[in-house]
Amino acid sequence: MEQLTAEKPAPPAETTTPTPETIRLEPTKGFRRVFAPHELWRYRDLGLQIAVRDVTIRYRQTAFGAAWAVLQPIAFMAVFTLIFGRAAGISSDGLPYALFSLGALVPWMFFANSFLLSSESLVMNQALISKIYFPRVFIPAGVIAAGCVDFAISLTILFLILLVYGIVPSLALFVVPLLIVIAVATAMGAGTALSAINVRYRDVRYVVPFATQLWLFVSPVVYPSSVLSEPLRTLSAINPMVGVIEGFRWALLHNGGSAPWELIGISAVSATVLLIAGLAYFDRVERTFADLI
């Protein structure tokens, strides 16, 4: 260590500035952090920088860059079309199977990637969490914000492909923003909860990829939800991705059926519950992150 020859600090300078804001630090009870809007607002600049960082680094030094956002669903579409569409002959509500699965894969890939990356996000940001304070929810939220950029890109490509197929958007398009909100809420609810559990139990790293695969097959990605009989079909919408996917197919592909309002409605409710539960759990354990990570 260097020896310092610095002078002793001068006595405090007289200032005329008003006494700055006081923060009280004490053991907290109840929900204090995620559900504290002014706290989030106070740290908004850091939240923004974290989101910017996550968006920026996502495809840094990759040859294909943001094309990955498109390549992934298209690759899945190709495989699914061959296996489930051709070989297994699964019904696709009268649509070309490729379009049928792509329409589902675009929201699904957003969800699956966001869920996976956000569940790992707190652990990936260990250094930051153990060294500075900020509302920790910015970390999984930043990852999901980056996922939204991908989502926007793949959605744009989906529109172009639809135009190539001669499918023109109809008024039903107006439901898409709602579906996107449901998908984001689902990813956020599941992602924040799992990221918080991951701080303590690294088992999450093994559970999430596996859970995502299972989730894929209980969501109507490779098959239409019409293969389920009622009331199972309606009940399946408790999985929020059911409403999102069937809503996407209806709004974008006009799969002939009537609007699946009941699915969208149930999914919207369960996504809201999932989001609140996920954030509430995160809020409860947030204060222990620095001690455990």
Partner 1 sequence: MSYTAIEAEALGKSYRLGLSGSYGSLREAVSGAMRSTVGRAVGRGEKRKTDVLWALRDVSFSVESGEAIGLIGHNGAGKSTLLKILSRIAEPTTGWAQVTGRVGSLLEVGTGFHPELTGRENVFLNGAILGMRRAEIRRRFDEIVEFAGMERFLDTPVKRYSSGMQVRLAFAVAAHLEPEILLVDEVLAVGDAAFQRKSLAKMAEVARAGSTVVFVSHNLATIQALCERAILLERGSVVDDAPVEQAVTSYLNSLERGASKNLLERTDRDGRSWKESKVANLAVYDSVSGEPDVIVGGRPVRIVVGLTKVLPTMDCQLTILNNLGQPITTLDSEVSSPEDVRDPEREPKIECSIEALPLVPGRYRIDVLLRGNQEIQDGLQAAAYFDVEPGLSGGRPMPVDGADGDVVLPHSWRLPG
Cα gap 150→55, rounded to integer Å: 9
> 236-270: string of b/e by CB count within 10 Å (b at 16+)?
bbebbbbbbbbbbbbbbbebeeeebeebbebbbeb
Shortest distance (Å) from residue 3 CB to partner 1: 5
CA distance 154 to 62: 17
Buried/exposed 44-78: b ≥16 CB within 10 Å, e otherwise: eebbeebbeebbeebbeeeeeeeebbbebbbebbe
Which residue's CB is nearer to partner 1, number 101 or number 195?
Answer: 195
Footprint on residues 96-155 left by partner 1 (CB under 8 A)? 127-133
Give the contacts of 209 (CB within 8 A, at least 6 positions apart). Answer: 116
Give the number of residues in contact with partner 1, rule: CB under 8 A. 55
Pick from 38, 41, 53, 275 the residue near partner 1 by CB under 8 A: 53
Q: Which helix (H) or strand (E) holds 187?
A: helix 176-200
Q: Which residues within the stretch 55-74 sit at the binding site for partner 1 (CB under 8 A)?
A: 56-57, 60-61
Select from 45-53, 96-104, 148-156, 259-267 the region that touches partner 1 (CB under 8 A): 45-53
If the CB atoms of residues 27 and 177 are measured against partner 1, the closer one turns out to be 27
Binding mask 202-231 for partner 1 (x = CB under 8 A): x-----------------------------
Footprint of partner 1 (CB under 8 A): 1-16, 19-28, 45-46, 48-50, 52-53, 56-57, 60-61, 127-133, 197, 200-202, 284-285, 287-288, 290-292
